[in-house]
A and B are shown apart, each in its own frame.
Chain A
Amino acid sequence: MAMDKVEIHKHDIVIVGAGGAGLRAALAASKEVNTAVVSEVLPTRSHTVSAQGGVAATLSNVEPDDWLWHMYDTVKGSDYLGDQDAIEFLCRMAPEIIIELEHMGMPFSRLENGKIYQRRFGGHTKEFGKEAVCRSCAAADRTGHAMVHTLYEQCLKNGVTFYNEFFALQILTNEGHVVGVLAWDIVNGGFHLFHTKATLFATGGYTRIYRTTTNAHINTGDGLALTMRAGFPVEDLEFVQFHPTGIYGVGNLISEAVRGEGGYLVNKDGERFMKRYAPTVWDLASRDVVSRAMAEEIRHGRGCGPKGDYILLKVDHLDPELIHERLPGIWELAYVFAHVDCTKEPIPVVPTAHYSMGGIPTNLHGEVVLGSMDSPESPVPGFYAAGECACASVHGANRLGTNSLLDILVFGKVGGEKAVEFCQSLPEHVPLPENAGKEGIDEVKRLVDSTGDEKMDAIWEELRDTMEANCGVFRTEETLSKQKKILENLCERFKRVRLDDKGKVFNLDLIETLELGHMLEFSKAIVEGALARTESRGAHYRDDFPERDDKNWLKHTLAYLNEDGRIRLDYKPVRLKPLTVPTFEPKERVY
């Protein structure tokens, strides 16, 4: 096929990704400068739509709350790896950003007094860990759906330009600037080059590399791979969140809101085992703690079912009316995917790969930054990132539920505004490099013309199974070293991958194969980072190093991709100093 034609588009800002972060950034930017959004899917198909339980903000609608408590919870939740300046910024901005969203039309559930409904959620407490607090602002259990629709509606109202069903292939750099992005038009086929003053990545997460996952098919971490290929690092990828309650057998998310509303976990003896692991808040401990507790129960033969390989989530003691009112989506999911009427029976659940704490390193302005142990962080001109693909780092080693929807709103908005400032300070676009986009174009041509003997799905199957077995909730040097070798082998096999579909129009074979190439690339960074980190912190648990080691490991991992395809690790300090308040010093983490 003739594929040499490249259409060039010039915008001030291009945002890649149209979930909550991308749309919020687009709203902020499009009012000021010429902005376009490039998205693999129609915006409402983005994975934000699957978020259920709520978005954190200390509105104090139900009971007194304080942003400083929220900050403490988030720092503690991060197992002290979170950057405290960014966390302070996030928590202080939360109430304002939620009110703004309400003014945009977000259909929040309501309290009797007409204010936004708030519920309890894991890890969120009052008075520095005393007891659970109602902080999660919710639209029933469809908060993400309501949010992404509201933001998309506002974008339509404000005339934002969308390039829907475009797949990003390569970041373009010149003179030290990011100057745009190359993309493939999925529907018609063909290359499009977006020449920009600023590019903002909001490309989402990646847990499709695991067998059991809450994530959508599109969550393949493409933005991370493109960032690494452009020579930039990715940060803290070894921290992958396993959500405690995925539906057994399929992995779909059952929101923590279920436990926030009074649901709880039991083992095969009917015991509420969480009281042994988290004596104060029980089932509302943070996700890493609950997932590990569940995995421990299963390991020690206290799992449920014929194979003893799941845990039961009970909600059948709650008023059915409350379930239908507050958790209608959960009822539906449990019914469709587990054949369970949760008003009558418990739901079988297992920990399921859910969220990437790590990502493209940024500061609290959404600017992508470079740095190391010896050199302070400095922004990459023209490059911004927000949402799950970014690492500000507000989640550190473990994210609290409801902080991701907050993250996408805050850093989407701030990143968009900062990109606008940068555009306005730059009189002209930095020119495109010579042969701009050549690597991305060659990659597509190579795949389409390939005559190898490997099939994409066989490689992907093995990736999913082995990442789950060797780089899951529990890890050891042995499993990680094994996985490193497996990845080397899979990368070799990937070089011989052959497509069935050689066409241009809606070539899903091409897209999935490109995605697989991306996943193999950053999976190496996850495994290498995990192998090097000889401690246990947050979601990264090493059976052979079960303690947190602040002396050696209170630092962020940076993973670079070398020319030869190997990973080079570097590190940078945690930003322990908040903006205005004293540092929360690392201490033992008990819930």
Chain B
Amino acid sequence: MAEKVTFKVFRFNPEKDKKPYYQDFEVEIRKPGMMVLDGLNQIRWEMDGTLAFRRSCREGVCGSDGLNINGVNMLSCITHISDLKPPIVIQPLPSLPVVKDLVVDLTDFMNKFFLVKPYLITYSPPPDKERLQTPEERKKLDGLYECILCACCSTSCPSYWADPEYLGPSALLNSARFILDSRDEGADERFEIINDRHGVWRCHTILNCIEACPKLLNPTEAIGELKKILIKKKF
């Protein structure tokens, strides 16, 4: 008989439930390398079609399926069931409003992303060909541009939980992605936004974001870089 693993899943249906609860499902391990997302799909397709969660690419690049699994934020599609200690407790990302079951409302998270002006800002007219950038200059964007906006980092951050106005590690990392781009001319306008008690200075280097990032990025380091630039500008 196939091995089974217990998934303890957070459930909440706003149309029916007064408060959330946890429901156990026995997920059958049918092949090696099964991911948590495979287990959730098995539940949805074979046991309970009412379970709601987000998913798309199923390979860790679209950022749809950030979840809190056994207490740590991660993507369900690239997390092996065999790497987790059962029962596997699956909850929505912490601190965001729950829409239904494992689906959270990302409005506030995306608004904060938008606030840091996450797009290339240029004032000088572009050349006929591409703007030149040396491999060294381009390398500064590695570890930043790969962000998939899954919200794992920000929702793991106690400062983000405690301060509703804190931009959070994801938005700040994305501001660094443009501030450190040799082609960008909008650093000053971004610094005006992030040089704030709800901006970079709210980061108390708790480091949860580093552990949470499924792309192995380091938001704390990026925020540190921004703080260094700000301090240098002051003195």
Contact partners of A31 in chain B: CB under 8 A: none
Q: Nearest Cβ distance between residue A494 and chain B, in whole angstroms? A: 15
Looking at the complex, which of B59-67, B198-206, B218-226 is the stretch in contact with chain A?
B59-67
Q: Complex: how many Å from CA A499 to CA B44?
A: 11
Residue of B nearest to A113 (CB): B132
Judge whether A99 and B130 touch: CB under 8 Å.
yes
A116 close to B56 (CB less than 8 A): no
Residue B148 interfacial (CB < 8 Å): yes
Best-surrounded residue of A110, A157, A332 (most CB of chain B within 10 A) = A110
Given A99-B129, A105-B120, A501-B49, A49 and B138 contact (CB-CB distance below 8 Å): no
Q: Are B49 and A50 touching (Cβ within 8 A)?
A: no
CA distance A500 to B62 in the complex (A): 27
Give A184-213 interface residues, CB cut-off 8 Å to B.
187
Q: How many residues of A contact B (CB 8 A)?
A: 62
From the candidates B45, B55, B114, B181, name the one contacting A456 in the complex (CB within 8 A): B45
Any B CB within 8 A of the CB of A590: no
CB contact list, B122-140 vs A, under 8 A: 122, 126, 128-135, 137-138
Decide: B78 and A500 in contact? CB cutoff 8 A.
no
- With both chains docked as a complex, state the minimum distance between the C-beta of B100 and any C-beta of chain A, in angstroms: 4
**B:50-86 near A, CB below 8 Å:** 50-64, 78
Contacts of A507 in B (CB 8 A): 52
Chain A 470-508, CB within 8 Å of chain B: the 1/0 string?
Answer: 000000000000000000000000000001110111111
Which residues, 116 to 172 on B, are CB-close (under 8 Å) to A? 117-120, 122, 126, 128-135, 137-138, 141, 145-146, 148-149
Considering only CB atoms, which chain A residue lies closest to B184 in the complex? A105
B60 to chain A, nearest CB (A): 7
Q: Kindly list chain B residues whose C-beta atoms are within 8 Å of the C-beta of A110.
A: 133-135, 137-138
Shortest beta-carbon distance from B56 to chain A in Å: 4
Q: Does A156 contact B (CB under 8 A)?
A: yes
Chain A nearest CB: distance from B211 CB in Å? 17
Chain B CB within 8 A of A336 CB: yes
Let me know if A102 and B138 touch, CB within 8 A.
no
Q: Is A50 touching B57 in the complex (CB atoms < 8 A)?
A: yes
Residues of chain A lying within 8 A (CB to CB) of residue B58: 216-217, 252
Residues 150-164 of A, flagged 1 when their CB comes within 8 A of B and 0 if not, give 000110110000000
**Cβ of A90 < 8 Å from any Cβ of B?**
no
With CB as the reference atom, state the residue of chain A lying closest to B118: A153
Inter-subunit contact B63/A499 (CB<8 Å): no
Q: Which residues of A are found within 8 Å of B132, using beta-carbon distances?
A: 113-115
Inter-chain contact A216/B62, CB cutoff 8 Å: yes
Is A47 an interface residue when CB atoms closer than 8 A count as contact? yes
- Residues from 182 to 231 in B contacting A, C-beta threshold 8 Å: 183-184
Q: Are B119 and A506 in contact, with the CB atoms below 8 A? A: no
A500 to B43: give the CA distance in the assembly, Å.
12
Q: Which of B48, B61, B133 has the most CB of A within 10 A?
A: B61
B3 CB-CB contact with A under 8 Å: no
Residues of B within 8 A of A501 (CB): 49-50
- Decide yes or no whether B99 CB sits under 8 A from chain A: yes
For the complex, give the distance between the alpha carbons of A145 and B141 in Å: 14
Q: A336 and B50 in contact (CB under 8 A), knowing A102-B130, A145-B146, A153-B118? A: no
Q: Report which B residues bind A (CB closer than 8 A).
A: 13-16, 31, 33, 44-46, 48-64, 78, 99-101, 103, 106, 110, 114, 117-120, 122, 126, 128-135, 137-138, 141, 145-146, 148-149, 178, 181, 183-184
6 sample A-B contacts, Cβ–Cβ < 8 Å, listed by A number = A45-B56, A107-B181, A108-B138, A110-B138, A252-B59, A337-B59
